[in-house]
A and B are shown apart, each in its own frame.
Chain A
Amino acid sequence: MSSYSSSARFDEARRVAIFGGTHGNEMSGVTLVNLWVKNGSEIQRKMVDTKPFITNPRAVEKCTRYVDTDLNRAFTPENLSALGEGDLPYEVQRAQEINRIFGPKGSPEAYDVIFDLHNTTSNMGCTLILESSKDYFNLQMMNYIKVTALRSYFCCVNIVLCDWFIAGLEVGPQPQGVLRSNIFEAMRVILKHALDFIELFNEGRTGVEFPTCTVEVFRVLERIDYPRDANGNIIAMVHPNLQDGDWEPLNPGDPMFLTFDGKTLHYQGSGTIYPTFINEAAYYEKQQAFVTTRRETLVASAIRKA
């Protein structure tokens, strides 16, 4: 029992939210949340209050990413305290509303866990986004999901560590506005395991803990933009060798972009990186063709219910 007293203690995760439609054209989350709003039995667990919620209903209705501004970038302190109500951009109003219902973040009233469901056009498979390497509760949960999904469904789950991404769950590849059955089912399985973990954690029988574990993650380094002309238009595409190559090593000198007239541009970095978010539709306007990552092993402290 040597590690028992040194395990990190967390309050039970009593209230859990599942967000869909943060981007209105990412269909797996929209569909799952609508399903669960109608009949939530699948997401109920003992001692957990699970609330499915459509975060951007107007964007969902129009099947578009956003109406005025990206909701997933709208939760800034300035926006959350802005005055003006109906005059504010739609997504800023939504951010304030969501913060009222599910937050404020860090306060005792805030929800314990929030799952924000996303799709990507990138070939990322199932990806969990972690904001901090010291967040042992989330790290343990992600480890549980990863191990269980692999064992039960031969489904590979990757974990991305980045403090400028928003935490969430990404499943791809799926075009915007399209619902693919395999992607839909994969997201459903991930959430099932996540809720199972929370239920197990909350049960917190004496002596039961999630022991220390090591977790392989991909730590984000930088974003790489497309080459552009003086007007800001892209002048090259992701190279066919790199396209769909998420999580595969990209070495210095490897093909990276292909210009429209057929010239290859090569990766000029100093070492091997692991690219991801390759050719995500929504990131053309955010100046991002892909992001570079390096592999890292994190240690998650043992956790148990307080």
Chain B
Amino acid sequence: TSSRICERGADVAVCGGTHGNELSGVYLVRELLKAKDIVMEEEREEPASVLMVLANPRAMQQCRRYVDTDLNRCFTHATLNGPISDSAPYEMTRSRELNAMLGPKGSPGAVDLVCDLHNTTANMGLCLILSLACLFQRQMPDVPMRFIHFDVSSKESYSLDSVGKHGFAMEIGPQPHGVVRSNIYTAMKDGVQHMLDWVRLFNSGTIFEAGFVDVFTIVKNIDYPRDSETHNITATIHPQLQDRDFLLLHPDDALFQTFSGETLRYKGNEPLYPFFVNECAYYEKGIALSLARKNTVAYHNMAFKVHS
């Protein structure tokens, strides 16, 4: 149910259901596929080459994040090209299928731009998560959003969006996993539409002016305090931090509240911006929240240069 038309200009892949219980992307890609079927039936020309993909159908069917292992960690070169056994986790087999469809990663034939759709239980609004190589520019003045930058130059990129020549994840919250909230769905639908509009403008030769944008660069993650024997968490995100993603966290601000009511405070040296605060899927990854510095980035005619 996904087709690829290779034409001149950048081609784009829009992926939903990489985590099967992050429902905005699941429903949006399903709707886009339905619309595309109607276009095909009516034999109209579609100028932009857009590929729509439901990345983890088995997890989607069970409304779970993954079946055996997190699909969005299966796209390193080693995982994609190393030896694979018959009893390999489902997501490892699936990542190779996706790599064949959208990649191969690192080759000239790879899709130009991969947009991978996600939801979070954290109160993050609309965020675009980028690695250094992404050329996507901000052109959505009426949709408030933030850019998050993960520096993967020191270790290999592992996510689905790294398969394309350029890629990013569109992350929208807060939404419980397994739930579709109409406001979140609409924000994602608008976000994807703006992104496709930008690609069409780019393909038709539009030159985009230079400008500045704020980017949050991840510095570190903080785990919950845990019981040394059971490894169970022994505190919750403090009520003064809960839902306050992207509001500056200063040294000595409240961080956690233990089950006996004690406040644990942030012991870092510099004020940082918290995000992914209380994301459900990160309990098992040992992350209660992530912390970032805010940088202003200048871009000139589509290349990012870090400014400060």
Spell out A's residues near B (CB within 8 Å): 31, 34-35, 63-64, 121, 173-182, 184, 233-234, 237-240, 243, 258, 260-261, 279, 281-282, 284-285
Contacts and interface: CB of A to CB of B under 8 A. Distances in A.
Contacts of A234: 27, 180
Interface of B: 27-28, 30-31, 63-64, 121, 174-183, 185-186, 232-233, 236-239, 242, 257, 259, 278, 280-281, 283-284
Given A180-B237, A281-B176, 12 more contacts: A63-B283, A176-B176, A176-B177, A177-B280, A177-B283, A179-B236, A180-B242, A181-B236, A181-B242, A238-B182, A240-B186, A279-B179
B182 A261 contact: no
Given A181-B242, A182-B242, A176 B178 contact: yes
A240 B236 contact: no
A260 B23 CA distance: 12
Contacts of A281: 176-179
Given A260-B27, A281-B176, A180 B236 contact: yes
Nearest to A34: B232
Nearest to B239: A181
Most central of A121, A181, A285 by chain B CB within 10 Å: A181
Closest 3 CB pairs of A and B: A175-B176, A281-B178, A177-B280
Contact of B259 (A31, A174, A177): A31
Contacts of A121: 176, 178-179
A261 B179 CA distance: 18
A131 to B, nearest CB: 27
A243 B242 contact: no
Nearest to A241: B182
B280 A260 contact: no
Contacts of B63: 284-285
A285 B21 CA distance: 13
A118 B97 CA distance: 40
B238 A179 contact: no
B27 A178 contact: no
B178 A282 contact: yes
A237 B281 CA distance: 24
A190 B179 CA distance: 27
A181 B237 contact: yes
B238 A181 contact: yes
